[in-house]
Amino acid sequence: MIATKNLDWKLLNTPLVLFLLLFLGFPVIVNLYYSLSEVSFETLRAPELEGVGNYLIVLTDGAFWQASWFSLRFGIVTAVAECAIGLGLAIFLAPLIEKHSAMMAPLMLPLMVAPAMVGLMYRLVLHEFVGPVPFYLYEWFGNSPSFLNATNAFWTLSVVETLQWTPFAFLLFYMAYEAIPDEVRQAAAIDGAGPLQLLFLIEPAVDGADVDYRVFYPLHRWFPGV
């Protein structure tokens, strides 16, 4: 009986495993082989093994480390900002959302738009010559930074990313906050606990490590910098 059930579980997993082996296993193997080979467009189908030379080229290239540093800073800055703003919104908007659940819809809107579209929209809005933001900054203050130049691109990109993905952090924090039972909230309020204490002190006590897995594990994956 146990053996049959084990076979059943394995059969249920099989389609997914086969799909992953085909569409991810093969590319991983090819990638590894190519990374150790001399490959050009002429030799794409017959690469020649050459050792770790490609890795050495990448690791000694300043551009690689510059790009990695940019990504690391970008990941940390946006993840911290998204979590901080998402948590703040979840705590302070929770009572309002409980009364007017339709508020959730506009808050989640940025999540629904393609990042490529959002990027193009901001490119238009912040464009030095035709964008409305630089135009009004010139009108009101007589000057406007060039949002898209090399100096300011990091912060422009960070703000745009934060604006688009904060709703997801908000949703995760909101559901963690809402998972606290009403009786527990009322008891904590009588004891003088604020919303932050409710979220971080009482929630784990109610739900144990499970909440960490269900709520914060996906958060770590979506915001790898956290």
Partner 1 sequence: MDNYASVLQVTDRLNIFGYLGNSLAAALIGTTLALVLALPAAFAIARGGIGRRLLMPAIVNLRAVPLIIFAIPLYMMFQWLGLLDTQIGLGLILTIVNLPLALVILVNAISDLPLELDEAARIDGANTFQILAQVIAPVCRPAIVTSFIFGFITAWNEFLFGLMLTTSKAVPMTVGASFFFAASGGGVQWGLASAVMIVGALPPMLLGLIMYKQISGSMTAGAVKG
Cβ closest to partner 1, residue 49 vs residue 114: 114
Cβ closest to partner 1, residue 16 vs residue 150: 16
Chain contacts with partner 1 (rule: CB under 8 A): 5-6, 8-10, 12-13, 15-17, 19-20, 23-24, 26-28, 30-31, 34, 44-45, 101, 104-105, 108-109, 111-117, 120-121, 124, 130, 171-172, 174-176, 178-179, 207, 210-211, 214-215, 217-218, 221-222, 224
Cβ closest to partner 1, residue 56 vs residue 124: 124
Kindly state the tokens that stand for 161.
């990313």
Q: Which of 96, 107, 100, 95 is CA-nearest to residue 182?
A: 95
Burial profile 103-124: b = 16 or more Cβ within 10 angstroms, e = fewer: eeeebeeeeeeeeeebeeebee
CB of 15 to partner 1, least distance (A): 5
CB of 192 to partner 1, least distance (A): 25
CB of 202 to partner 1, least distance (A): 14
Angstrom distance (rounded) from CA 142 to CA 180: 51
Surface-to-core class of residue 17, CB atoms within 10 Å of its CB (0-12 exposed, 13-18 middle, 19+ buried)? exposed
Cβ closest to partner 1, residue 81 vs residue 211: 211
Kindly state the tokens that stand for 212.
């960490």
